[in-house]
Structure 1
């Protein structure tokens, strides 16, 4: 077995390939998650323990993952991402077919690089997230 350098072990990218709960438990996220989850803390904690694909990297800067109830992500799921360059958290919590929590709340503030991961989570949400193309000159 080859040991990773200490710096690589301490990097948030060390959670790539692990469940999303490993990402949520990183010190870079714990305070932000507590602050941003508000009254949804218990639901968020439960969904972060649900099964999902391993944590991945998007656009060389967004570490992300999600967990969902066995019934599906629309019925109950949590999507969590962290921008390793700007140290920003992106989070969605869904319950009973609705978004209960979105950080940031404006879907246009979500980076385009997360669209593919969101498509795996809930396809319809992927289309709503990210910057909008600007309107043609004659339609403004």
Structure 2
């Protein structure tokens, strides 16, 4: 699947709201993307439209140092729920670090600069929701 589907996957949001479309997105139907030039991570998008983005992020295990996501921020509020971690979030705007364990969530307000780091010995898996349109 291509990047052209971002923002309208699995169906355009306005169209879905108009028609009342319901779409089941099985794991094998997720929109899989490698995100990041310097720090590539796997994004498995379940929904990507004008109201929200929902998916799973996988941050691989390190090498010489910790593996990390690209430094990022979002137009909308975001929440990350750690399925397998722990995950370390570095928030540049306050020069703060937060350690999030399995079955814990981390909320980021809109426009906050952050990076997620994997100091562990196994990949981090997190479910995320970003809501730029709400």
TM-score by length of 2: 0.31
Higher share of residues assigned strand: 2
TM-score by length of 1: 0.30
The one of the two structures with greater contact order (alpha-carbon pairs below 8 A, sep at least 6) is 2
Higher share of residues assigned helix: 1
